[in-house]
A = this chain, B = another copy of it.
């Protein structure tokens, strides 16, 4: 199944699925991945560098559950677990359990996950890079409508 049909299937899929249609499964998938925590989890697991800022600093490596919860400041354990389960089910992250005591669990991106992470990282970077501009626009809008 996973063979050279990669690019061929990709092209066919683009014609099959259309997120503009309410009933299309891709609409649900879009809804899933359009999530703050999904973006941040992927970013954390993928290393936060724009491309390869410092190959040493935050290189993509498996992260422990506790590392993730520390990295994603403010995330509740419920949302973190829920997000991780969802990503695991969709095959975007792989979960590794080492039966030490207490157990050691780590997460890392799959190939599929990395392909999405590359896109989501850009979105996260966009948000950080254009924050000032957006803030200024909001002020202008609010002043205009006040």
Interface positions of A (Cβ within 8 A of B): 1, 5, 9-10, 13-14, 16-22, 25-27, 29-31, 33-36, 38-40, 43-44, 48, 50, 71-74, 88-91, 112, 115-116, 119-120, 122-138, 140-142
Contact = CB atoms under 8 A, between A and B. Distances in A.
A80 to B, nearest CB: 13
Contacts of A89: 137-138, 141-142
B39 A30 contact: yes
B141 A88 contact: yes
The interface centre, meaning the residue of A38, A134, A136, A141 with most chain B CB atoms within 10 A of its CB, is: A134
Copies in the complex: 2
Given A73-B22, A88-B141, A124-B19, A130 B36 contact: no
A130 B30 CA distance: 11
Given A29-B134, A34-B36, A40-B20, A122 B119 contact: yes
A25 B19 CA distance: 29
A20 B71 contact: yes
A73 B22 CA distance: 5
A37 B47 CA distance: 28
Given A90-B137, A119-B119, A129 B33 contact: no
Contacts of A131: 13, 16-17, 25-26, 29
